Amino acid sequence: MTDENQFILPPFEPRNPLRTPLAVVAVLLGMALAGGFWMFLARGKANSVARIATQDLKASQAKTAALEAERAQLETEKAQLEAEKAQLDTVESELDSVKRELSKSAQAKEDEIAELKGISDKIQDKMKDEIAHGDIHLEQAGSRLRVVLADKVLFDPGEVQVCKRGEGVLTRVAEVLAGTPDQQIQVSGHTDRAPINGKLAAQYPTNWELSVARATNVVRFLAEKAKLPAQKLVASGQGEYQPIASNKSSAGRARNRRIEILLTPAPTPATKSRLRAAVAVKTGGKAATKQADKKTAKTKKSGKKSQSGKTHVSR
């Protein structure tokens, strides 16, 4: 009896129809609240993540901008350094060029001095007697050689034409000078301070004319008789204004009456080119200045005309 009752179901009790909807509503409300809270938390977390991402982005952008600025600065500095290096390379190249030019110039100067020393030795060898008597003496200073000849060696008293003895002396000098193609030859005449008198006074009223005439006749002899290149010869007269001794004594006046043959290195093609360039620049500058002056004068003239016209109208 007892065992059979174990399988008897309790009597069925119907559920309250009002309790079921309320439970469902409660469950749904709870779920809604839970979902809203979850969404609130998720939105807050998303906003926080977004703010952090924005901050990171701004920081990254700022860092990128700083790096770009630094890169630009480095590029500028690099360009400046490259420009400075190029400038230094140019200066170094120019210095090397100057050094080479100076070396060449120094060597050329040494060669010029050596050449003049050889010329001096040859003239001394050919003019032993005149040098021994003091009628000729030589002066070398660097690349300049001066051959000083007393007037009595070349001219008869009161004459301007080269005498026979003078022709012989000049011929021997020219024999040496003929072998010096790189030398410019300047012949200058000098006198004492005594006024010109006698028959020379009518033709040569001052010592200027006398000194020039004697230097010119020496140059003509060297070119026409001794056959030295005329383009290498220069004649000048210094008159009484470059004495080498006192004019108060007869010995001093005798020393002042002289012909000087000055040897100097002839201009090289490079020197001539530089001189032509300098002359061209100077001439161009003068031409530009003249043109500017003309333009200024024209502007001033135009302004005066305009002002005159306005005055006329106002009247």
pLDDT score of 56:
85
Q: How far apart are CA 107 and CA 115, in angstroms?
A: 12
* Nearest CA-CA partner of 209 in 186, 239, 240: 239
Give, for 187, the enclosing helix (H) or strand (E).
Answer: strand 183-190
Q: Which pLDDT value is given to residue 57?
A: 87
Inter-residue contact 204 to 160 (CB < 8 Å)? yes
What's the whole-number mean pLDDT along residues 28-53? 78
90 versus 275: the higher-pLDDT residue is 90
Q: What average pLDDT does range 270-283 have in this prediction?
A: 55
Answer with the residue of higher pLDDT: 3 or 174.
Answer: 174
DSSP 208: H
Q: What is the mean pLDDT of residues 263-276?
A: 65
pLDDT of residue 44: 76
**Structure confidence by residue, pLDDT tens digits, 132-175:** 999 999 999 888 999 999 999 999 988 999 999 999 999 999 99
User: Could you tell me the domains of the chain?
Assistant: 113-269 (3.30.1330.60)
Burial of residue 211 (number of CB atoms within 10 Å: 0-12, 13-18, 19+): buried
pTM for the model stands at 0.58
**103 alpha carbon, distance to own chain's centre:** 19
Percent of all residues in the chain with a pLDDT value above 70, rounded to a whole number: 78
Over 90: is that where the pLDDT of 286 sits? no
Residue 287 predicted with pLDDT over 70? no
Rounded Cα distance between 286 and 95, Å, is 32
Mean pLDDT of 254-266: 94
The pLDDT mean for the chain works out to 82
Cβ neighbors of 116 (< 8 A, separation 6 or more) are: 140, 143, 144, 145, 183, 263
Mean pLDDT of all residues in 277-283: 57
Judge contact between 209 and 257, C-beta under 8 A. no
Task: Describe the strand order of the beta sheet including 258-265 as a list of residue ranges.
Answer: 136-141, 144-150, 258-265, 183-190, 233-239
Question: Residues 283-312: what's their mean pLDDT?
Answer: 53
For the purposes of burial, counting CB atoms within 10 Å of the CB of 176, is it exposed (0-12), middle (13-18) or buried (19 or more)? buried
Q: Is 196:204 a contact under the CB 8 Å cutoff?
A: yes
| pLDDT greater at residue 11 or residue 224 | 224
Residue 266 three-state SS = coil
| Cβ pair 237, 215 in contact under 8 A | yes
72-100, pLDDT tens digit by residue? 999 999 999 999 999 888 988 888 888 88
